[in-house]
Amino acid sequence: MAKIGKAAAKERIDFLKKELERQNYNYYVLNQPAITDFEFDLLMGELQGLEKLYPEFATEDSPTRHVGSDLSGAGSDFVQVPHRYPMLSLGNTYAREELYEFDNRIRKAVSTPYSFSCELKFDGTAICLTYRDGRLLRALTRGDGTKGDDVTRNVVNIPAIPRQLHGEGIPEEFEIRGEIYMPYAAFDRLNAARTEAELEPFANPRNAASGSLKLQNPAEMRTRGLDCVLYHLLGENLPFKTHIEALEAARSWGLPISEYSRHAGTIEEAVAYIDEWDTRRKTLPFATDGIVIKVNELELQRQLGFTAKSPRWATAWKFKPEQALTPLLSIDYQVGRTGAVTPVANLEPVQLSGTVVKRASLHNKDQMDLLDIHIGDYVYVEKGGEIIPKITGVELSKRPADARRPEFPACCPDCGTPLVRDEDEARHYCPNRESCPVQIKGRFIHFAGRKAMDILAGEATIEALYNKGYIHTLPDLYTLTREQLVSLDGWQDKSADNFLASLQASRSVPFERVLYALGIRHIGEQTAKMLARHFGSIDALAAASREELLQIEDIGEIVADSILAYFASEAGRDTVRRLREAGLQMAVSEDAQQRLSDTLAGKTVVISGNFSISREAMKGLIEAHGGKNAGSVSGKTAWLLAGEKAGPEKLRKAEKLGIPVIDEAQFYQIIGKE
Ligand code: IVH
């Protein structure tokens, strides 16, 4: 690093500290990183370098000396619990030589032979599990490294994490740390649903995982498809000599341990592992952002110890994200069914991770301003496991003289109505809900969709019906006549019959799907389901006050206001009235009301003792969530639900058969009831 003057160094250090804290906050608390990991690591590296040159400016509170904090702010109801052992981060490197330096430092510090454990660096969010007497006691996030958020009630909903361990030599109490992550498939599903509901999609699987882990609603969290892998066992007087041996034992107790790790005798072997996984990782169904190399011998780990922020016995090799550099040709402004305008970049086609990329999302105007993007610029595109590649930067050195700043449209590209921007949202909207053609057609396409009313009408049919002037508002669909249908290009009796039959069938589509089909802004499939269950009918929902809505978990102000606006509008009320007249389900049917969820489907629960509700009510609850209640514990029992004064006979039998025993609170966590 070039030596710079003292005053300039001080100024730069102050800037870097502030900037890194700000980015830590974006990343860990908001789950919305504004820069790439690579850029973050560059800034961090620069700060480390300057602090080395000018130790007088290296303060205790520098981001180089503490980990970024994920602690939830005020308003969260997660309890903060101190970590028994601090939860640290890892030193990282993108340079080969530094791996050899890591090896040299170890060789100098220890006097006995050593070897390495090479592991994938899972790109998720760190978790610390405590097991006592073989049962999961607590799950904490990393937090600020010294204390974390207690997310136990959410973690019990992750199938990979066992609540009860089985096997030999399980220590009375131990901690095991690892990563909660979201596989690509679950991530794509979640973002598709969020985009549908016009919610901001998560930037990458890591943010989706940590956002999901912090959800206040365990039932919602269960639908997110999170997975877990564990890689660090800690405790007092554990009998293991090596890290790998400890993890093998943990695996034998039923804990999820990576199958991709490898023992390496030398740093060269570790480097070979890195080279191998640099390509192989692209075939994995989940995101990795590097390789972790750890000294395998636990005694040597103890000798090497820690710096303020990370262990000296481990380091992380970070993969550089795959990028391509290509010119930006133009920007399209697409209007969605709820009027949201999304800028989409048209690029000079370019190869990236095996596919040709032509288009990339620019999200919103803020993002465009942040990048200071110009038409004609060379832009960096990246794929981080997402379906749609994104633009992460602009190569200013290649900016052509005639590059021009794009003009974000002031009016709707489809109907010409001036766009508006909601205060809390980064998006621009066309407010002309009633007569903007794209929005109208978009509403019909959404309404007819498979997850909504499942009506046999694709984009082309909707387009044709709209152009003929047959449909304008949703209920018009139910007034269509056979004559009108056969008048469409290429339609015959048969297609008209099929269409009318699907319309008829849609009259028995359950209320939760009708609610989703209405296309109320921000009401996705999950939210619709939840609201349907909570209110039971459209009338009850329409009558709900803002306060009532806000009391529901995971309903924030934006969603509440959107519901209120819908039912306050003439158009909204009219749509509901006419759809009701057409015979659609506007309330939860009795059957569905009794069935609250399928969480316990295929599971048998035995209950014993007294609960805060009657035993009959408890049995009802088990059945309402799809489970079966049985009188005695057997090999088929999923859980023994033990209340106060539970029968000792049943408890003994459960213990003998290794059936998990849960209390009332844990049961409620499982079924997602408060
Ligand atoms: S070991 C004392 N092993 O990467 C440090 N960490 O950038 C213990 N991570 O905080 C961490 N995969 O959240 C370790 N195989 C692995 C890992 C891993 C992912 C995460 C972890 C850590 C972060 C550091």
Which amino acid is residue 348, in one-letter code? E
Selection from 124, 97, 343, 91 nearest residue 229 by Cα: 124
Q: Give the model's pLDDT for residue 551.
A: 86
Give the ligand 1 atom nearest the CA of 311.
2
Give the pocket of ligand 1 (CB within 6 Å): 88-90, 119, 121-122, 126, 179, 231-232, 292, 311, 314, 316
* Rg, the chain, Cα only: 29
Residue environment code for 175-210, b if the CB has 16+ CB neighbours within 10 A, otherwise e: bbbbbbbbbbebbbebbebbbbbbbebbbbbbbbbb
The alpha carbon of 89 and the centre of ligand 1 are apart by a number of angstroms equal to 7
User: Rounded to whole angstroms, how far apart are CA atoms 78 and 153?
Assistant: 10
The answer to whether domain 80-318 has CATH 3.30.470.30 is yes
Q: Give the model's pLDDT for residue 657.
A: 85
The alpha carbon of 121 and the centre of ligand 1 are apart by a number of angstroms equal to 6
**C-alpha distances in angstroms, 261 versus 94, 115, 234?**
20, 13, 19
User: Rounded to whole angstroms, how far apart are CA atoms 660 and 61?
Assistant: 45
pLDDT-based confidence at 422, cuts 50/70/90?
A: confident
Residue minimizing CA distance to atom 9 of ligand 1: 121
- Residue 354, classified by CB atoms within 10 Å of its CB into exposed (0-12), middle (13-18) or buried (19+), is exposed
- Residue 236, classified by CB atoms within 10 Å of its CB into exposed (0-12), middle (13-18) or buried (19+), is exposed
**C-alpha distances in angstroms, 355 versus 138, 253, 330, 390?**
43, 42, 21, 14
The alpha carbon of 292 and the centre of ligand 1 are apart by a number of angstroms equal to 7
Test site for ligand 1: of 121, 140, 144, 213, most ligand atoms within 8 A of the Cβ:
121
Residue minimizing CA distance to atom 17 of ligand 1: 121
Of the two residues 141 and 8, the one the predictor is more confident about is 141
Q: Is residue 41 pLDDT above 60, yes or no?
A: yes
* Number of neighbours of residue 415 by Cβ within 10 angstroms: 16
Q: Give the model's pLDDT for residue 565.
A: 95
Give the ligand 1 atom nearest the CA of 87.
2
Q: Are 70 and 125 in contact (CB under 8 A)?
A: yes
Residue minimizing CA distance to atom 12 of ligand 1: 121
pLDDT-based confidence at 151, cuts 50/70/90?
A: very high
Question: pTM for the complete prediction?
Answer: 0.60
344-398 per-position pLDDT tens digit: 999 999 988 667 889 998 888 988 998 899 999 999 998 755 556 889 899 999 9
Of the two residues 373 and 525, the one the predictor is more confident about is 373
Give the ligand 1 atom nearest the CA of 67.
10
The alpha carbon of 57 and the centre of ligand 1 are apart by a number of angstroms equal to 29
Least confident of 101-115, 188-202, 430-444, 586-600: 586-600
SS3 610: strand
Rounded to the nearest 10 degrees, the angle between the axes of helix 267-280 and helix 96-109 is 150
Give the ligand 1 atom nearest the CA of 120.
15
Catalytic residue among 121, 147, 214, 529: 121
Look at domain 595-671 and name its CATH class: alpha beta
Q: Give the model's pLDDT for residue 341.
A: 92
Q: Is residue 75 pLDDT above 70, yes or no?
A: no
Q: Mind spelling out the 3-state secondary structure of 499-534?
A: HHHHHHHHCCCCHHHHHHHCCCCCCCHHHHHHHHHH
Residue minimizing CA distance to atom 22 of ligand 1: 89
Q: Are 49 and 117 in contact (CB under 8 A)?
A: no
Give the ligand 1 atom nearest the CA of 88.
2
Test site for ligand 1: of 38, 41, 127, 231, most ligand atoms within 8 A of the Cβ:
231
User: Rounded to whole angstroms, how far apart are CA atoms 269 and 464?
Assistant: 64
Domain(s) labelled CATH 2.40.50.140 in the chain stretch across 324-406
The alpha carbon of 87 and the centre of ligand 1 are apart by a number of angstroms equal to 10
294 is catalytic: no
The first and second tokens of residue 290, run together, are: 């590097």
The alpha carbon of 515 and the centre of ligand 1 are apart by a number of angstroms equal to 43
Give every CB contact of residue 116 below 8 A, 6+ residues apart in sequence: 263, 264, 265, 266, 267, 269, 270, 293, 294, 295, 296
The answer to whether domain 6-65 has CATH 3.40.50.300 is no
Least confident of 37-41, 156-160, 346-350: 37-41
Rounded to the nearest 10 degrees, the angle between the axes of helix 557-568 and helix 570-581 is 70
Q: Give the model's pLDDT for residue 349.
A: 93
Selection from 447, 348, 354 nearest residue 391 by Cα: 348
Domain(s) labelled CATH 1.10.150.20 in the chain stretch across 437-586
* Phi, psi angle pair for 306, to nearest 5°: -130, 155
The first and second tokens of residue 648, run together, are: 């000792």
Domain(s) labelled CATH 1.10.287.610 in the chain stretch across 6-65
The first and second tokens of residue 152, run together, are: 């136990």
pLDDT-based confidence at 3, cuts 50/70/90?
A: low
Give the ligand 1 atom nearest the CA of 310.
2
Give mean pLDDT, residues 53-58: 88
Strands (E), 195-287: 227-234, 262-264
User: Rounded to whole angstroms, how far apart are CA atoms 37 and 604?
Assistant: 46
Q: Give the model's pLDDT for residue 232.
A: 97
Q: Give the model's pLDDT for residue 73.
A: 60
Instruction: State how beta strands 604-608 and 428-429 pair.
Output: unpaired
Which CATH superfamily includes the segment(s) 324-406? Nucleic acid-binding proteins (2.40.50.140)
Give mean pLDDT, residues 257-284: 94
The alpha carbon of 319 and the centre of ligand 1 are apart by a number of angstroms equal to 14
Test site for ligand 1: of 292, 298, 312, 313, most ligand atoms within 8 A of the Cβ:
292
Residue minimizing CA distance to atom 21 of ligand 1: 126
Q: Give the model's pLDDT for residue 244.
A: 98
The first and second tokens of residue 207, run together, are: 């943010």
Which CATH superfamily includes the segment(s) 437-586? 5' to 3' exonuclease, C-terminal subdomain (1.10.150.20)
Q: Are 204 and 212 in contact (CB under 8 A)?
A: no
Which amino acid is residue 441, in one-letter code? K
The alpha carbon of 569 and the centre of ligand 1 are apart by a number of angstroms equal to 51
Test site for ligand 1: of 37, 40, 90, most ligand atoms within 8 A of the Cβ:
90
Percent of the residues in the chain that have a pLDDT greater than 70, as a whole number: 96
DSSP conformational letter for 537: B
The first and second tokens of residue 168, run together, are: 């030999």
Query: Which residue's entry shows tokens 């088990």?
Result: 622
Average pLDDT, the chain: 89
Domain(s) labelled CATH 3.30.470.30 in the chain stretch across 80-318
Q: Is residue 672 pLDDT above 80, yes or no?
A: no
- Residue 470, classified by CB atoms within 10 Å of its CB into exposed (0-12), middle (13-18) or buried (19+), is middle
The alpha carbon of 71 and the centre of ligand 1 are apart by a number of angstroms equal to 18
Give the ligand 1 atom nearest the CA of 92.
7
17-37 per-position pLDDT tens digit: 988 888 888 787 777 777 777
